[in-house]
Structure 1
């Protein structure tokens, strides 16, 4: 007598899915990581939903009353609108202006950090693998650029290019690519000595495939950590440039320009024009840095303190 047994199929998740799940558990193991990610996500959602949730469009001249300029927090306009954070010197609602300005600051920071990571990371990865004179030449250029203050180089570039969001992004890319190039070079030199690279070279695998298919995935975690931290740095740099009048135009002010608009009124007691955009800027930078520090702890446990 034969007995038929139904086969039991064991469904396993792909290795990439398991790694992602393990990374998520490690990352969110700390309460500070959960809080920072939740707050940062809420901040991003608020900025994306800005046109629908803000009480006014601060850059629509038809919705601005100049007679409401520099009203303190909690004031009410003639139309019954309450300015919870007050108004600036042009009569714009500060809450609406901060949400719109934060969207520009985040956009500039994320876009410039990603572009600089792609450019600098690719250059560092390539020159480290090839070695020789090209590596020496590129790294001397990197050392030369990093020897100058970042803000000074950015000011020189914008003095030549002029103001504008695209020019600000380009200037930040030009001053930040060297950081990624140096980091990618260091990580590539470590990977270059490993057996899988030597095996690929013995099998005559094309250089492009060795670099971008085999070595790049092992270099990316270090670049992700640096890119996250550099987003906060780029936001701060853009705010500084806008504060100095060489950043985004006045028609699309970021947090830095909002702070600059109220700077001259600080001594007269009208603190809210600069204070609240400054709080939003500091809060955003701190949250991004917390996320970046946690990524560094998880992706590079040996380097975490």
Structure 2
């Protein structure tokens, strides 16, 4: 008996279950470009989160700024061949590397915060318009058309001219100019899903409207909402940088990447390029990496775009 057992072939392993999440991960990481962009984006987020621990200087602490002797210096080295300012300093004596790390925090907080809040507002109104129909749909979609008819930057400038500077005011302005994109996207998806059999079955069972919308309709509207949200985060970061560059964004005591670029604009002609150049590169890398991830998410989550 023991010999037979010892000579028996080992039992075959059960086949691995292919779940939707595993399929999504497998398809996403098939693209080397999207994978590289995701790695860069994760690194940027980690740098922004741990900026107080890894940055050489706290650019918000005036006691650490050398305005007299440390301003407008290019990348320099100490006598022991160690770098003092890897990316130089700005006109306030602020270490540019530290400023970029902290500026990434402001840019990501404003971009992600406004995009999430706008998604909540826009998705709620979009589902309400699709599910209720009739006059409710007409009113909401006319508001969407009215919002989208105005240039985004002009609308944001008008709102900030009324509210004033400040991170929260910038977030409010971005929510106002972004919610319509989510509403239109979710309404289009919800109109298709509303005609599905599972929605009709839920209505026949007399389930509460709130449960039908949030337990059945919303989960099936998430893929396009995630894609639009990813793109809108990059758009919000770029718009916040534009507003800060124009002087209507975040306060000067908490500079974002856009404000750092604006601070060095007047010194470009005198050869002090690093003040605007390095924050501009950081902003470009951040926006491009988010757009590449969002673009590939669209390809993976939309079956019609799959080859």
TM-score when scaled to structure 1?
0.92
Aligned with 1:261 (options 256, 260, 263): 263
Query: Which residue of structure 1 lines up, in the alignment, with residue 151 of structure 2?
Result: 149
Question: Deviations for 1:13-32, whole angstroms, at most 9, x for unmatched residues?
Answer: 9x8x8211111111111111
Report the CA distance between 1:257 and its aligned residue.
0.3
| 2: CA distance, partners of 1:254 / 1:52 | 18
Query: Which residue of structure 1 lines up, in the alignment, with residue 29 of structure 2?
Result: 28
| 1: CA distance, partners of 2:83 / 2:66 | 11
Other structure's SS at 1:268 match: coil
Report the CA distance between 1:301 and its aligned residue.
3.0
| 2: CA distance, partners of 1:203 / 1:181 | 28
Report the CA distance between 1:271 and its aligned residue.
0.5
Report the CA distance between 1:46 and its aligned residue.
1.2
Aligned with 2:113 (options 111, 114, 117): 111
Report the CA distance between 1:75 and its aligned residue.
5.0
Q: Could you list the runs of 5+ residues in structure 2 that have no partner in the other structure?
A: 1-10
| 2: CA distance, partners of 1:218 / 1:19 | 13
Report the CA distance between 1:74 and its aligned residue.
2.8
Report the CA distance between 1:122 and its aligned residue.
0.9
RMSD: 1.9
Query: Which residue of structure 1 lines up, in the alignment, with residue 51 of structure 2?
Result: 50
Question: Deviations for 1:49-105, whole angstroms, at most 9, x for unmatched residues?
Answer: 11111111111111111121110123559xx86111110001111000000001110
Map 1:95-106 to 2 at 5 A.
95-106=97-108
Aligned with 1:134 (options 130, 133, 136): 136
> May I ask how many residue pairs the two structures share in their alignment?
293
Other structure's SS at 1:87 match: coil
Other structure's SS at 1:290 match: helix
Query: Which residue of structure 2 lines up, in the alignment, with residue 3 of structure 1?
Result: none
Query: Which residue of structure 2 lines up, in the alignment, with residue 163 of structure 1?
Result: 165
Aligned with 1:213 (options 212, 215, 220): 215
